Amino acid sequence: MDYRNLGASGLRVSVLSFGAGTFGGSGPLFGAWGNTGAEEARRLVDICLEAGVNLFDTADVYSAGASEEVLGQAIRGRRDAVLISTKTALPMGEGPQDWGTSRARLIRATEDALRRLGTDYIDLLQLHAFDASTPVEEVLSTLDGLVAAGKIRYVGASNFAGWELMKSLAAAERHGYPRYVAHQVYYSLAGRDYEWELMPLGANQGVGALVWSPLAWGRLTGKIRRGQPLPAASRLHETAQYGPPVDDEKLFDIVDVLDAMAGETGRTVPQIAINWLLSRPTVSSVIIGARNEEQLGQNLDAVGWSLSKAQIERLDAVSAVTAPYPYFPYRRQEGFARLNPPIV
């Protein structure tokens, strides 16, 4: 396992991290992902630690807190061996203080997460979404207080737009508040929108990407094929509406190349898709999930080897799409590109 600094921070994270979305799974979304109990979760954590994974990601909204509870049970007795990342902001109830990132909500959400996780500090607290109703200065000053109190150590964001992230970073710089060192983002061969603005921002500002859904919401498992119905066991039957949109024809073109590359390398389709992400600028860690030990072992084998330059170029080419305005001129026109050459 390799390790990278999380953005411009001194926190070193494994290039693969484990997403605990399947832990305690319940409801239409998380129940379809899986329902891993404490005993099995502990075994999955064992396997991760043996492979060198040190970062475990969850969120309060995952199965209404059950994911945090199961993760806390799974790491009991070895807290110092793991880094815990959790997220808050999305609604946990119907009340006015049950959502967002106001001072009251952030303090209560952090205390609740600490209790569920069975720990006295969180290594990385990320805001799960941008709360436009709360001033960024209120958010950041609250995070500053939580860091000073030793309850959280690093702060990050998730699913922010470029202007939302930059506004927050500028306010942190201006007031001396903790800066976001991580941005948890959707990024995959079938979804490269992260590259248009958020990647250059991350490179410029020292914000590392934690990639969620590297297999495009289960579409890059090698089981989704052109001209074939979805497998009966696919979670897409129940969860497609919740995930990022994907152009089917583009997806099938990508899978065709991944299939061919799997034959060349002896690796699986998902392993190649994950390994490609690890070659991308600003990516600090790719979050993998697993419903069982076999699936976890296969995903962990996405590291320890590298795609060739020619293979990366083939994947780049088949997955490329035209960037929307105002980004496309910087990739198509020489004058624009000379001013701001792409970093990929």
- Residues carrying an active site annotation: 62
The token pair at 61 is 């909204």
Q: Which residues pair with 191 in a beta bridge?
A: 188
Tokens of 292: 């069982």
SS3 sequence of the chain: CCEEECCCCCCEEECEEEECCCECCCHHHHHHHCCECHHHHHHHHHHHHHHCCCEEECCCCHHHHHHHHHHHHHCCCCHHHCEEEEEECCCCCCCCCCCCCCHHHHHHHHHHHHHHHCCCCEEEEEECCCCCCCCHHHHHHHHHHHHHCCCEEEEEEECCCHHHHHHHHHHHHHHCCCCEEEEEEECECCECHHHCCHHHHHHHHCCEEEEECCCCCCCCCCCCCCCCCCCCCCCHHHHHHHCCCCCHHHHHHHHHHHHHHHHHHCCCHHHHHHHHHCCCCCEEEEEECCCCHHHHHHHHCCCCCCCCHHHHHHHHHHHCCCCCCCCCHHHHCHHHHHHCCCCC
Q: Label the pairing between strands 180-186 and 208-212.
A: parallel
> Is the separation of the CB atoms in 6 and 46 below 8 Å?
no
